[in-house]
Amino acid sequence: MKELAEILLSSETIAARVKELGAEITTDYQGKEIIIIGILKGALPFMADLIREINIPLKYDLMAVSSYGVSTKTSGAVQILKDIEMGIEGEHVLVVEDIIDTGLTLNYLVGNLLSRKPASLKICTLLDKPSRREVEIFPQYNGFTIPDRFVVGYGLDYAERFRHLPMIGVLKPEVYEKK
């Protein structure tokens, strides 16, 4: 694809890591039922693959949270566009995110969900970009730590494009720096 500078993670590499994460989550939550909350839109492919690798009882729901719009940088203002439909009080909750960048959006979301009194709350992210972190937030499950590059594919987008790609690629700067 001409808009990509390089492939950072192949579909095979992603699939292998998702399988490992599913096994780890299965072990950690053995004997419990969990509620998985996927963060739309980016985490949808990851969440779909992940739940098929988790071998304990689970339910799932979806939230849509935004702080980016069509920009490449967070605005810092977080909006819940779609809330979960099930109660989580007393439940074991696993938030599934596509990428943790500054951490501002996820930090807000975690605070919001903790106010609903779950028995536990953990974070599983496909990608972690700690070099950009503005708040202290640490995922309990991390697929890959990546450098500070603008990535797309496997749910991640730029202006709603590239989500469908089966791999994670680095977007060429000229694609998102157009005036």
Helix (H, G, I), strand (E, B) or coil at 148: coil
Do the Cβ atoms of 14 and 154 come closer than 8 Å? yes
How far apart CA 134 and CA 145 sit, in angstroms, is 16
Residue 100 and residue 106 in contact, taking contact as beta carbons nearer than 8 Å: yes
Known catalytic membership, residue 101:
yes
Active-site residue identified among 49, 98, 101, 128: 101
β-pairing, 4-9 vs 168-171, is antiparallel
First-residue to last-residue Cα distance in the chain: 22
Catalytic residue numbers read: 101
